């Protein structure tokens, strides 16, 4: 491979933090960032799972650290950054991946569902990004924040109004932060996955309804984890040095529909 191309995705010497790394996409993103050379701080509430992930990254020759982190708790977020900084240095790459889903018809959705879905998927992205960018600016380092939105942030879906609203908010938050943070050499972009099987949707995609749904959408299949690897690295690394404030769908063309 051409040396300049390989160097552009090389994250050696950088510290990356992934929220919600205890399962699904987050565990994959952490593994990919470590494979690209970053020291990866993996955060979530289920620390036992994070420790298993750290062991698997280390077994491959990567560097990782597990930190307990509840993104809905400011003190927990601050403590996780403090712990990361003290152990491995200032965080330069943040992947805001922690997320939850709770489907309901619009008319049936409740106050509790709004708080649960919007707090974790949107407010916490603001909280973690704000904390991270303030620290990057203080440390005088350039940074990259990658917010994991969804194609539902770009197009609504039945029974997903709260989730889609929160993810649309993540995309506008991404652009708003990008508009201000470029002066501090911090880029902020959003990755908008289509459907990938994880704990968040496994039951649905194993159901008959889920299978029928897959038969109707443009790629006629779920995405595979590795299909998110290079899009993530593009946004996180210097390969994407001229990308700022974008929302990148990775969905096999699911969003592209004929009228």
Ligand X SMILES: NC(=O)c1ccc[n+]([C@@H]2O[C@H](COP(=O)([O-])OP(=O)(O)OC[C@H]3O[C@@H](n4cnc5c(N)ncnc54)[C@H](OP(=O)(O)O)[C@@H]3O)[C@@H](O)[C@H]2O)c1
In the complex, what is the shortest distance from the CB of residue 62 to ligand X, in angstroms, rounded to a whole number? 19
Q: Does 51 bind ligand X (CB under 6 A)?
A: no
Q: For residues 129-148, which are near ligand X according to CB under 6 A? A: 148
Task: Go through the chain and tell me how many residues it has.
Answer: 259
Q: Which stretch binds ligand X (CB under 6 A): 33-41, 171-179, 191-199, 207-215?
A: 191-199
Q: For residues 101-120, which are near ligand X according to CB under 6 A? A: 120
Radius of gyration for the alpha carbons in the chain, expressed in angstroms and rounded? 18
In the complex, what is the shortest distance from the CB of residue 222 to ligand X, in angstroms, rounded to a whole number? 8
The 3-class secondary structure across the chain, one letter per residue, is: CCHHHHHHCCCCCCEEEEECCCCHHHHHHHHHHHHCCCEEEEEECCHHHHHHHHHHHHHCCCEEEEEECCCCCHHHHHHHHHHHHHHHCCCCEEEECCCCCCCECHHHCCHHHHHHHHHHHHHHHHHHHHHHHHHHHHHCCCEEEEEECCHHHCCCCCCEHHHHHHHHHHHHHHHHHHHHHHHHCEEEEEEEECCECCCCCHHHHHCHHHHHHHHHCCCCCCECHHHHHHHHHHHHCHHHCCCCCCEEEECCCCCCCCC
Q: Which stretch binds ligand X (CB under 6 A): 55-63, 82-90, 132-140, 193-201?
A: 193-201
Q: Does 196 bind ligand X (CB under 6 A)?
A: yes
In the complex, what is the shortest distance from the CB of residue 144 to ligand X, in angstroms, rounded to a whole number? 18
Q: Does 71 bind ligand X (CB under 6 A)?
A: yes
Q: Does 44 bind ligand X (CB under 6 A)?
A: yes
Q: Which stretch binds ligand X (CB under 6 A): 14-22, 54-62, 128-136, 172-180?
A: 14-22
Shorter beta-carbon distance to ligand X: residue 155 or 184: 155
Shorter beta-carbon distance to ligand X: residue 23 or 35: 23
Q: Does 200 bind ligand X (CB under 6 A)?
A: yes
Q: Does 46 bind ligand X (CB under 6 A)?
A: yes
| Site residues (vs ligand X, CB under 6 A) | 19-20, 22-26, 44-46, 69-72, 97-100, 120, 148, 150, 193, 195-196, 198-201
């Amino acid at each position: 491979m051409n040396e300049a191309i390989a160097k552009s995705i090389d994250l050696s010497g950088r510290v990356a933090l992934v929220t919600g790394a205890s399962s699904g996409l987050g565990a994959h993103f952490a593994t990919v960032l470590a494979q690209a050379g970053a020291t990866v701080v993996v955060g979530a509430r289920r620390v036992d799972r994070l420790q298993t992930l750290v062991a698997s990254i280390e077994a491959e020759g990567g560097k990782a650290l597990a930190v307990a982190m509840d993104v809905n708790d400011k003190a927990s977020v601050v403590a996780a950054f403090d712990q990361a900084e003290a152990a491995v240095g200032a965080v330069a790459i943040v992947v805001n991946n922690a997320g939850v889903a709770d489907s309901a018809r619009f008319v049936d959705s409740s106050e509790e569902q709004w708080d649960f879905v919007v707090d974790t998927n949107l407010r916490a992205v603001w909280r973690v990004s704000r904390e991270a960018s303030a620290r990057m600016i203080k440390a005088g380092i350039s940074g990259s924040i990658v917010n994991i939105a969804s194609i539902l942030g770009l197009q609504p879906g039945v029974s997903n109004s709260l989730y889609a609203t929160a993810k649309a908010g993540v995309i506008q938050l991404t652009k708003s932060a990008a508009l201000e943070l470029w002066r501090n050499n911090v880029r902020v972009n959003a990755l908008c996955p289509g459907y990938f099987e994880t704990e968040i949707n496994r039951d649905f995609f194993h159901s008959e309804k889920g299978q029928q749904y897959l038969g109707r959408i443009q790629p006629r299949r779920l995405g595979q984890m590795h299909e998110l690897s290079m899009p993530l690295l593009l946004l996180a690394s210097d390969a994407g040095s001229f990308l700022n404030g974008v929302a990148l769908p990775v969905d096999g063309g699911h969003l592209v529909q004929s009228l």
